[in-house]
Amino acid sequence: MRWRCMAQTAILASRFYGTGACTVKLACPHQFTLLRMRITSMRGTSHDMMRLPLFTKAHGTTRRALNRSPVGSTFRFLATASGTGCSTSSRTERPRRSLFSVPGADQRFITKAQGLKADAVVLDLEDGVAYDRKHAARDLVQQTLLDSSQNFGSAELCVRINGLDTRDLALRDLEAVLPCNRLQAVVLPKVESASDVLFVSRMIDAFCEDRDVRIIAAIESAMGFLNLREIAETAKDETSKAKLDALVFASEDFCADIEATRTESANEMLYARSQLVIAAKAFGLQAIDMVHINFRDLDELKMECEGGRQMGFTGKQAIHPAQIDIINDRFAPSTKELDFASRTVQEYEQTTTNGQGACVVDGIVVDMPVYKWAKKIVERAAKAGML
Ligand code: COA
Ligand code: MG
């Protein structure tokens, strides 16, 4: 299984680096056979290629041979053709009402995040880190993941890597964080195609073996939206174990990309936000809404949370501690909503047992679609610990 992943990663990595043709033949596990990979036009040096995690994870002898090989060599790998993925439906859902972004270059922020109640803490290596601090941030985030005395409570521990368009930065981020046992999800920014997600899932498969590390994809460009369906559809990809689990709408990069003017009403993003919710729901994914950038205005945040929830978002990004509790609260069902939903479920189930197809709760007709909606509210409340 591991070798198979490496083989796939090799192909992806070679494409990623802008290399030429590579032909691959996978054989049975006990044979030392053929993975012929001819690197015809590699952009980086031989050393760059060897630094790829795939090679650093290779068996010692293989690795030594690879390290001696010049560009243009034909490589031989041991590869197996076995292994299957697991489907999204069989996995437990992780609550992600609040996805809290913590700049990865600053220990002060990382320490602060440990006492907060975010559902997911995202240690950021991307745009929350200045370019000249990228290496230091990567080291600090790796240390944080390795040091279990840094306790984030029940929060899901995630890392936002640099976008795959940065090539070297992104690969080094993955190489640094994927082996860390406490990592639970990779937030992949600026996703524009299914192959972006598939590349990262292969890397996770190769590095994380049986650990359940998931992918959260941020959609931030016109191209990302044009390819949204194929991106979301990777959640059903059976060839890899690591899966896409959520889509995130990234408002600021999106507006910059399409040259929209950011307004208080956020009308300029309505279409894209709706599209994201629809694509996410079609493939069983969570939909996580944009950052509220006017972060000191908490009343405005409450309204934005309401709007997002009404559209079907399941959570929202946070960038400041004061936003977390409000987001958690607004993305859990309200007491009133839960009360109505619970009674709706009970009444409807009673009604159908009695052979009828609809009933009335608080003056509202409850039929199958309303029942389904109410069931989801009750399920969400249970996940938020309200029941
Ligand atoms: N993660 C962890 N702690 C944070 C935090 C964050 N994102 N934002 C603020 N804090 C901490 C501060 O360190 C401070 O801690 P202290 O009380 O121990 O001193 C406390 O929360 C209050 O912060 P405050 O003084 O109100 O804000 P600030 O001026 O320090 O920071 C920002 C404001 C916007 C610079 C900061 O919130 C930030 O960098 N946020 C992340 C932005 C980001 O990640 N952008 C990219 C992703 S979309
Ligand atoms: Mg962004």
Q: Is the CB of 68 under 6 A from ligand 1?
A: no
CA of 324 to the centre of ligand 1 (A): 12
Q: Quick one: which of 251, 254, 247 has its CA closest to 187?
A: 247
- Which of 110, 319, 325 is the best mutation target for the ligand 1 pocket, counting ligand atoms within 8 Å of the beta carbon and taking the most? 319
Find residue 158's DSSP bridge partners: 122, 185
Could you identify the atom of ligand 1 that is nearest to the CA of residue 295? Answer: 34
In the chain, where are the structural domains located?
6-80, 88-330, 335-383
CB of 296 within 6 A of ligand 1: the answer is: no
Ligand 1, atom 8, residue with closest C-alpha: 320
Ligand 1: centre distance to CA 108 (Å): 9
- Which are the catalytic amino acids? 367
**Can you give the pLDDT at residue 47?**
33
Tokens of 255: 């507006």
pLDDT in tens, the chain (387 residues): 344 444 444 544 444 444 333 333 333 332 222 233 333 333 333 333 333 334 333 445 555 555 565 555 554 443 333 333 334 456 788 999 999 999 999 999 999 999 999 999 999 999 999 999 999 999 999 999 999 999 999 999 999 999 999 999 999 999 999 999 999 999 999 999 999 999 999 999 999 989 999 999 999 999 999 999 999 999 999 988 999 999 999 999 999 999 999 998 999 999 999 999 999 999 999 999 999 999 999 999 999 999 999 999 999 999 999 999 999 999 998 899 999 999 999 999 999 998 899 999 999 999 999 999 999 999 988 887 888
110 CA from centroid of ligand 2 (Å): 20
321 C-beta closer than 6 A to ligand 1: yes
Are residues 161 and 170 in contact, defined by beta-carbon separation less than 8 angstroms?
Answer: yes
Instruction: Give the pLDDT score at 67.
Output: 55
pLDDT of residue 90: 62
pLDDT at 45: 33
Residue 66: the pLDDT is 53
CA of 252 to the centre of ligand 2 (A): 6
Task: Tell whether ligand 1 has an atom less than 6 A from the beta carbon of residue 112.
Answer: yes
Residue 118's Cα: distance from chain center in Å?
16
- Ligand at minimal distance from the CA of 318 is 1
Ligand at shortest distance from the CA of 152: 1
Q: What is the end-to-end Cα distance of the chain in Å, rounded?
A: 41
Query: What pLDDT sits at residue 380?
Result: 85
Between CA 207 and CA 120 the distance in angstroms is: 22
* Rounded-to-10 torsion of CA 187, 188, 193, 197: -70
Which of 101, 112, 249 should be mutated for ligand 1, with most atoms under 8 A from CB? 112
What pLDDT score does 65 carry? 55
Residue 316 CA to ligand 1 center (angstroms) comes to: 17
Cα 43 to Cα 19, 22, 28, 205, 315, distances in angstroms:
7, 15, 32, 26, 41
Find where tokens 């629809």 sit. Answer: 278
* CATH number for region 88-330: 3.20.20.60
Residue 229: CB within 6 Å of ligand 1? no
Identify the pLDDT of residue 73.
56
Question: Could you tell me the sign of the dihedral formed by the alpha carbons of 208, 212, 216, 217, in that order?
Answer: positive
Q: Which ligand is nearest to the CA of 163?
A: 2
CB 307 near ligand 1, within 6 Å: no
- Look up residue 259 and give its amino acid: E
Among the bound ligands, the one closest to the CA of 128: 1
CA of 102 to the centre of ligand 1 (A): 8
**Ligand 1: residue whose CA is nearest its atom 16:** 112
The answer to whether the CB of 106 is under 6 A from ligand 1 is no
